[in-house]
Structure 1
């Protein structure tokens, strides 16, 4: 089960900032910079995109879009470091930005997803008790995301991971969770719930290899060889134009898993 939640390290290239002074852009400065940040993110220049979003936040503490995007980028970038200190720095900043965005609009899909992602990220570098506490908070934000945007593929994916984690708690975790909640008040999660959520993620974005890989791992944990192979075959059939080292690594792992079953 641990393989499903293990972050894949990525080499990240630090490039110079392309940010223009905000004052020089006049009243439309925020819109210009938001567009610039979006373009940089689409080009996989996430460090530069984050710098732009944080420049906007420095000038406008209540810029909702910049807060949400900066939060998500800090969560994603924190996963790429191997030492917990740097991870925690990024994840804590991600949570702080997400909380500010959530206070501005608590029913928006972006702010709810940013909160869920930041909590999930912090959970990975927390002790057992705090990890369970953070995990217990995630579900409400995922529900908020999907209530606002039922087609949010990343939220469905995270919900699938949440269901899988909750469905496979060990005895000590179950006991601690019951104590925290005063009894398991929430509906028990199942692997079937996890599979459904993962399939919804794939439905809304069939081009994300991570969704297939995580679904295949769920089937592998369930000893369902046929479903695992079928999921991996679906992933390979997409013939995706892989752009990042993470995507290339995921493709390699999918192929290795599939080959192991076909021997």
Structure 2
């Protein structure tokens, strides 16, 4: 009888190892799909991996970021918010696995950033605070995390664009706004450019920041540059289409 139970225990151990290996294999497949710009398929693969290993940090992080990306492409605000909330949930689970992980913190920041675009007033101001909070934590653990630096740059850009009501809310609840937010946005976008020279979206946002700062020639230079870059994310063709439209608008 004792031998029988030992055999069962041994088989159970093999099963656990097999499941873990299967989860890792699914993650490898998902990583490959993401490199091939098949983000929806990658998202599903990562979710399958999480079913087998609920604390797989990489899978949780990638699910969160992909949910934020895929949500951006949805046609209604309701569908967008569904994906953004899923991104937040996956980020929360990743942070439970490792609260200090830089990527886990940055995807939480990204989720709040996406949700903030659908909010206004006090709620938007609250989300804006969380965006920077998690991006700062990401940078504390990895000062060269270009995604976190990009979020910080976008944060400064958006703060510079808050309406009067939102600015008033910031002053009341958080003690005011940082000065020269637009200059800070440009500074951080330039840092991202150095760390990730093929990050297409960064050039688009950097061009917008320079244009707002009254440096249209510099803005046009970056738009033309991004059009020559390879596509490394599923949204890049759309980003390039927006860049072409901006070039037409700015020349008009």
- TM-score interval, smaller chain: 0.7 to 0.9
Partner of 2:213: 222
Partner of 1:28: 21
- The question of 1:74 aligning with 2:67 is answered yes
Alignment length (residue pairs):
238
Q: Larger helix proportion, structure 1 or 2?
A: 2
- CA spacing shift, 1:100–1:219, aligned 2, 3 Å: same
> 1:90 is matched with which residue: 71, 80, 83?
83
Partner of 1:251: 240
Residue 153 of structure 1 and its aligned partner are, at CA, apart by 2.0
- The question of 1:115 aligning with 2:108 is answered yes
Runs of 4+ with deviation above 6 angstroms? none
- CA spacing shift, 1:141–1:244, aligned 2, 3 Å: closer
Q: Is the 8 A contact 1:107 1:148 kept in 2?
A: yes
Residue 25 of structure 1 and its aligned partner are, at CA, apart by 4.8
Q: How does 1:17-166 map to 2 (within 5 A)?
A: 25-166=18-159
Gaps of 5+ in 1: 1-21
Residue 234 of structure 1 and its aligned partner are, at CA, apart by 3.5
- The question of 1:197 aligning with 2:197 is answered no
Residue 23 of structure 1 and its aligned partner are, at CA, apart by 8.2
- CA spacing shift, 1:41–1:187, aligned 2, 3 Å: same
Partner of 2:173: 180
Q: For the pair shown, which has the larger CA radius of gyration, 1 or 2? A: 2
Q: Which has the higher contact order (CA 8 A, sep 6+)?
A: 1
Residue 250 of structure 1 and its aligned partner are, at CA, apart by 2.6
- CA spacing shift, 1:27–1:224, aligned 2, 3 Å: closer
Query: What is the DSSP-based 3-state SS (H/G/I as helix, E as strand, rest coil) of the residue aligned with 2:235?
Result: helix
Residue 187 of structure 1 and its aligned partner are, at CA, apart by 4.0
Query: What is the DSSP-based 3-state SS (H/G/I as helix, E as strand, rest coil) of the residue aligned with 1:51?
Result: helix
The normalised TM-score by structure 2 is 0.85
- The question of 1:240 aligning with 2:233 is answered no
Residue 45 of structure 1 and its aligned partner are, at CA, apart by 1.5
Deviations 1:59-95 (A, max 9, x none): 2222211111111111111111121111111111110
Gaps of 5+ in 2: 1-14
CA distance, structure 1, for counterparts of residue 153 and residue 230 of structure 2: 25
Root mean square deviation, CA, Å: 2.3
Q: Is the 8 A contact 2:20 2:53 kept in 1?
A: no
Q: Is the 8 A contact 1:160 1:193 kept in 2?
A: yes
CA distance, structure 1, for counterparts of residue 119 and residue 243 of structure 2: 29
CA distance, structure 2, for counterparts of residue 170 and residue 122 of structure 1: 17
